[in-house]
């Protein structure tokens, strides 16, 4: 079984995330929420280091994914953010695994506004890879990002994971790539948003990822898009009930087949000043 997992990882590195950074497969929109100021998704926790929106208060979210192929990858994450003066502190905990293959990452970050047109953020992570019977390795990747307000309804973002090219020693399975994501988001209205991400991971070709967001009457919401090169398509929907948000996600990608995800978020907004 262990040999089989290693053989898959070397032949199809996208099947086992240790060749890559830990990231969700089904919900591909978790990096672009900061692109929509005033849009319904502005107060959805993001994996982007610029996290929590403006004056976010206290936010916490759990999310899990499961591949529907036998022995497929499982992914779980916990995100939280809370307001401090003058910015937000965020916390991240990730786990991904399949069979004897296990990855874990935890990190703490800080983001803040620099005026009305720029937000910046950085997060320091501890990453650990373990293959049962083959040992473990660890590294300390740093991620950083910025969000630029170009026009009232148009934002761009820049995100870099593993900024210092950190990586544990060992064979190719334990290498951590540097990943650069450039995004642009346009808020058509408070209910509709459009985004495009250009993603470059070291050792892989450039990937384009368009996404559309829609929220009906401030309660029901939908997102959908696709990723070039991988042939992945994804769709998610959910419901907002006061301070709670439920999110259901599904995706399909060729060899990987179907994956499903479930997320729950709670937001305790700061009290408005009289």
Report the C-alpha gap between 219 and 16 in whole angstroms.
35
Q: Which domain holds residue 200?
A: 2-268
Res 256: pLDDT:
75
Could you tell me if residue 206 is inside a domain? yes
Low-confidence ranges of the chain (pLDDT < 70): 1-21, 37-44, 52-56, 169-174, 269-274
- Residue 273 within a domain: no
Please, which residues have CB within 8 angstroms of residue 161's CB and are 6 or more apart in sequence? Answer: 21, 141, 143, 178, 179, 180, 181
Residue 129 lies in a domain: yes
Is residue 43 situated within a structural domain?
yes
Q: Can you give the pLDDT at residue 12?
A: 37
Q: Is residue 121 part of a domain?
A: yes
pLDDT tens-place string over residues 109-134 = 999 989 889 999 999 999 988 888 88
In eight-state DSSP terms, residue 18 is: G
- Is residue 188 included in any domain, yes or no? yes
Domain count, the chain: 1
């Amino acid at each position: 079984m262990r040999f089989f997992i290693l053989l898959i990882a070397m032949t199809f590195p996208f099947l086992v995330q240790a060749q890559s950074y830990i990231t969700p497969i089904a919900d591909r929109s978790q990096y672009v929420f900061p692109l929509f100021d005033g849009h319904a998704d502005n107060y959805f926790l993001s994996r982007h280091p610029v996290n929590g929106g403006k004056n976010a208060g206290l936010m916490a979210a759990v999310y899990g994914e499961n591949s529907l192929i036998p022995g497929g990858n499982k992914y779980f994450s916990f995100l939280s953010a809370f307001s401090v003066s003058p910015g937000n502190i965020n916390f991240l905990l990730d786990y991904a695994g399949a069979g004897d293959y296990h990855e874990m990452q935890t990190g703490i970050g800080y983001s803040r506004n620099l005026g009305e047109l720029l937000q910046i953020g950085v997060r320091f992570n501890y990453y650990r890879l373990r293959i049962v019977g083959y040992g473990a390795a660890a590294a300390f990747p740093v991620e950083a990002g910025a969000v630029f307000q170009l026009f009232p309804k148009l934002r761009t973002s820049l995100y870099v994971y593993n900024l210092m090219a950190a990586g544990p020693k060992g064979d190719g399975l334990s290498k951590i790539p540097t990943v650069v994501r450039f995004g642009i988001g346009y808020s058509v209205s408070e209910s509709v948003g459009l985004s495009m991400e250009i993603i470059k991971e070291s050792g892989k070709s450039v990937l384009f990822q368009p996404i559309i967001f829609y929220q009906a009457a401030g309660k029901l919401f939908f997102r959908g898009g696709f990723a070039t090169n991988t042939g992945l398509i994804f769709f998610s929907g959910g419901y907002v009930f006061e301070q709670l948000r439920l999110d259901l996600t599904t995706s399909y990608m060729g060899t990987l087949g179907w994956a499903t995800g479930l997320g729950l978020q709670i937001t305790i907004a700061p009290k408005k000043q009289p």
